[in-house]
Amino acid sequence: MTLRALIVGAAAGGGLPQWNCNARNSAAYWREGAGAPSATQSSLAVSSEGANWALINASPDIRAQIMARSQLQPRSDQGLRDTPIVSVLLTNADIDHIGGLLTLRERQAFQLITTAEVAEVLAANPIFNALDPALVTRRVIGLEDPFDLAPGVRASLFSVPGKTPLYLEGETVETEVLGEQTVGVELSDGASSFFYIPGCAAMPAALADRLGGAALVFFDGTLWEDDEMIKQGVGQKTGRRMGHMPMSGEGGSLAAFSDLGVARKVYVHMNNTNPVWRSGPERERAEAAGWEIGYDGMEITL
């Protein structure tokens, strides 16, 4: 068996292009169409044998994502209702990671796996009861507690710095909380392993130690610069205020990974404003540092 990782969606919330955006990257798509970069919202699929897949995060784009990826489409020899998606794991409760659950409501059996904190968010919103509990089994998994995610795929959740979703923010916002609200995932088939971390606000020593020497890490690439959205005139918040460390600058992921010895590094969850979507000095700098820019449909085997 071979451990397979398929980027289902490489963009951050809103996707690329964003439906109401005329900033440079999105506007290029409106002008040039398929000739400009585009991507759907953040998700990864994992399998060890290619027949059964686990989905990590369910984006609002999930229907289009399944239409675009034959690996996730109903199998013709399995009856009138079928999916190769056997489980859905949520790394947090952000809208771009849970919105697609409502598309998966069509009386189909699969496991929905979350931390206790994310489970509470879903339970508090009755719209998610559309997932028939007689078919969709909800599993609550503790941190550092290994579990079977799909046939031949073992997973373990670990805390990474982050914050509560925007729609749950109170008057006081902590952006680098360590707990169950934001997690990374280590995935293994017993012979190979890799990490998926689509949201991360900082690189504490414990996380750096965990990732050191890894064969493959998919990592949060939301913004190039911390104040990128402010500079482009499309937002008032920095990346760190949103719970995401930037790629560049002091404390950015380029610097944080520079001496970790990770064999293969792939950016995911990139915002539509990020200049690495296109050719230019920022992308060249990231690639010179050994990073790959993830894209929808990118598949890596270990």
Q: What is the pLDDT along the chain (302 residues), one digit of tens a residue?
A: 799 999 999 999 999 999 999 999 999 999 998 889 999 999 999 999 999 999 999 999 999 999 999 999 999 999 999 999 999 999 999 999 999 999 999 999 999 999 999 999 999 999 999 999 999 999 999 999 999 999 999 999 999 999 999 899 888 888 898 999 999 999 999 999 999 999 999 999 999 999 999 999 999 999 999 999 999 999 999 999 999 999 999 999 999 999 999 999 999 999 999 999 999 999 999 999 999 999 999 999 99
Cα distances from 115 to residues 93, 209, 285, in angstroms, run 10, 23, 36
Extract the tokens encoding 5: 């990782």
pLDDT of residue 35: 85
d(CA 190, CA 193): 8
Nearest alpha carbon to residue 282 among 228, 203, 243, 220: 228
Euclidean distance between CA atoms 219 and 110, whole angstroms = 26
CA pseudo-torsion sign 289, 2, 53, 160: negative
Say which CATH superfamily domain 4-301 falls into. Answer: Ribonuclease Z/Hydroxyacylglutathione hydrolase-like (3.60.15.10)
Would you state the structure tokens that stand for residue 181, as one six-digit string?
Answer: 């609200």
Q: Which residue has the tokens 């689509």?
A: 198
Tokens (6 digits) for 57: 């995060």
Other Cβ atoms less than 10 A from the Cβ of 290: the count is: 13
Burial class (CB in 10 A: 0-12, 13-18, 19+), 172: exposed
Distance CA 198, CA 6 (A): 14
The pLDDT score that the predictor gives to residue 174 is 87
Instruction: Report the predicted TM-score, pTM, of the whole model to 2 decimal places.
Output: 0.97
